[in-house]
Amino acid sequence: MYNEEVIKEFQNLQNVGFLENNNAYSKIGNAACGDIMEMTMYINPETEIIEQVAFRTFGCAAAQATSSRATTLVKGKTAKEALELSNKAVVDSLGGLPAQKLHCSVLAEEAIKACIENYYERKNGTEKKEETKYV
Amino acid sequence: MKVYLDHSATTYVDKDVLEGMLPYFTDVFGNGSSQHFYGREALKAIDEARDKVAKALNCKSTEIYFTSGGSESDNMAIKGYALAHKDKGNHIITSKIEHPAVLESCRKLEKMGFEVTYLDVDNEGFVDPKAVEAAITDKTILITIMLANNEIGTIEPIKEIAQIAKAHHIAIHTDAVQAIGNIPVDVQDLGVDMLALSGHKFYGPKGIGVLYKKNGVKIERFLDGGEQERNLRASTLNTPGIVGIGYAIEKAVKDLDKNAKHMAEVRDYFVKKVQDSLEYIMYNGPKDSSKRLPGNSDFSFVGIEGEGILFHLDLAGIAVSSGSACSSGSLDPSHVLLAIGVPMAIAHGSIRFSFGKMNTKEEVDYTVDVLVKTVNQLRSMSPIYDELIGEYKKCIMKK
């Protein structure tokens, strides 16, 4: 069902982990639905370039591959450019996903967007603290 | 190394079973309903296979109906019985952990005006016979409970439930697809009116199944057309498949004790090894091996998602199946695991390892090595591992 590119990405996940020195953080999804993505970034406050990015995912092979690929696509880009990243771009870069897995790529796009929003919120002092429920 | 641990999904066809089938594709190709020599020769083989199946199940040959598989047999029994008895009542009793062939047949009947009670099970998957009795109303016409569960291996107390059904003059059907070749299946001893089985679960071919229907039990015709299978199921008889299921069931019954003992031994070795190697896991299904299919094991690995595990094992040459939703496109994990009280987020991290008669301890050693590495790797990249451990502890305390 998965193409070779997806399997290759799944076997060689990029940017796995958690950045302690992050200035942008997001965690989205729903464990009950089987998908949670967490993203951390260090965005240079001067240039707004995403210098470091890391992710951790609870999810299927497609969720892992798309979150990994999304991180490589935004690394080195500016926060503004990264906001433009669409789930389609992630899927295309992996050479396509099975139809029932497309929602996983939406999650990757949302995790990137939420992470950058968190960067702006923290920068502007408007960050909301929310407790998420997982089960 | 290639390791097949998905025998509940399907098995290969035994070589001697295949050899028995081969002439019926070519030399003996006649239509079993034809009156000429070619047809008579095919019919002779079909009759012999029917006798073999009847002998294996301890019933009469006239009580055996060949179908295309387990799902069709379940559909034929449940819908066929309900439609033939709708004047007597419209209530059916089943359980929440049945195979989709049973559950969806019941849902279809609900749309047609029938009422269905889906019984709860306990945390090991057992249906309580008392709950069956309590659910009976004066409208109840049919009880359908599986003989053994396909995911967690629970062997249901069908004999007891059948006695209750009999006392209330209600028919009972059982889905025995997972049972043949793993536990004894004797329709007289069980006391059931109908029973479904499928060839490819016990080293026979795919595309062939059996419905046992006790003589005198009326069901509506399932496939309209010709008069095959005593006018209950049209369609040209699948001679090679029928011959194959005959040989396969004969062998499954003959080797039952030997195979069951071997599977249980390898399975128990695997289960202990997994439990010794990993923490925060749930062994789903009966703890008492005598109430569980000998080849079945099912684990939830807290903090990670099943499909990720499945693909890592797959890439290492190990074939298993996952209880997570992700492979099916739905967002809900296995209805069986939810029914036994596994929290949803933990149910997503479930894998079934189902053993067959040829699996070895060496295969188990290799599998556990890969599994432990995979689980640890996926846990290290799980953002909710710690939270789910809390959930796991709550769940264990409840039990």
All residues of chain B having their beta carbon less than 8 Å from the beta carbon of residue A35 are 305
Q: Which residues contact B367 (CB under 8 A, 6 or more apart)?
A: B3, B5, B270, B313, B318, B353
Say what the pLDDT of residue B391 is. 86
Residues B139 and B235 in one domain: yes
Collect all residues of chain A within an 8 Å Cβ-Cβ radius of residue B303. Answer: 58
Domain boundary among B254, B283, B303: B254
Residues B284 and B242 in one domain: no
The 8-class DSSP code of residue A57 comes to: E
Considering the domain architecture, whether residues B339 and B243 belong to the same structural domain is answered as no
| Residue B208 located in a structural domain | yes
How close, in Å, is residue B374 to chain A by CA atoms? Answer: 11
Co-location of B182 and B310 in the same domain: no
pLDDT by residue (tens digit) across B277-288? 999 999 999 999
Tokens in use for B340?
A: 């036994």
* Residues B318 and B351 occupy one common structural domain: yes
More confident residue, A135 or B62: B62
What residues of B act catalytically?
326
Instruction: Categorise residue B37: left if φ over 0, alpha if ψ from -120 to 50, beta otherwise.
Output: alpha
Q: Which neighbouring-strand residues pair with A78?
A: A49
Report how far residue A74's alpha carbon sits from residue A67's, in angstroms, rounded to the nearest whole number. 11
Would B6 be classed as within a structural domain?
Answer: no
Task: Show me where the domains of chain A are located.
Answer: 4-121
Within this chain, do residues B68 and B214 fall inside the same structural domain, yes or no? yes
B327 falls within a domain: yes
What is the four-CA torsion angle of B201, B203, B204, B206, rounded to 10 degrees?
50
Residues of B in contact with A100 (CB under 8 A): 328-329
Do B91 and B54 share a structural domain?
A: yes
CA B277 to chain centre: 29
Condensed to tens digits (0 to 9), the pLDDT of residues A70-127 reads: 999 999 999 999 999 999 999 999 999 998 888 888 999 999 999 999 999 999 887 7
Check residue A133 and give its pLDDT: 39
In a domain, B4, yes or no: no
Q: Total domain count for chain B? A: 2
Containing domain of residue B23, as a range?
15-254
Place of tokens 């965690």: A27
When scoring A10, A25, A58 by the number of chain B Cβ atoms within 10 A, the one with the most, hence best to mutate, is A58
Q: What's the ipTM?
A: 0.90
**Distance (Å, whole) CA B247 – CA B227:** 25
Low-confidence spans in chain B with pLDDT less than 70: 324-331, 399
CATH number at residue B345: 3.90.1150.10
> Mapping DSSP to helix (H, G, I), strand (E, B) and coil, where does residue B302 land?
coil
- Asked whether residue B5 is domain-assigned, the answer is no
Same domain, B208 and B282: no
Cβ-based neighbours of B329, under 8 Å, separated by 6 or more: A99, A100
Q: Taking every pair of C-alpha atoms in chain B, what is the biggest distance, in angstroms?
A: 72
Q: Is A124 on the interface with B (CB under 8 A)?
A: no
CB contact under 8 A, B384 and A58: yes
What local confidence, expressed as pLDDT, does residue B325 receive?
Answer: 56
Flag whether pLDDT at A134 surpasses 50.
no
Give yes or no: residues B273 and B284 share one domain: yes
CB–CB contact A134 B383 (8 Å): no
The CATH number linked to B169 is 3.40.640.10
pLDDT of residue B328: 53
Q: How far apart are the first and last CA of chain A?
A: 29
| Same-domain pairing of B125 and B270 | no
Compare CB distances from B384 to A11, A60, A134 and report the shortest one's residue.
A134
pLDDT level of residue A135 (50, 70, 90 thresholds): very low
Please answer yes or no on whether B348 and A64 come within 8 Å at the CB atom: no
Pick the CATH number of A4-121 from 3.30.1360.40, 3.20.20.70, 3.40.50.720, 3.90.1010.10: 3.90.1010.10
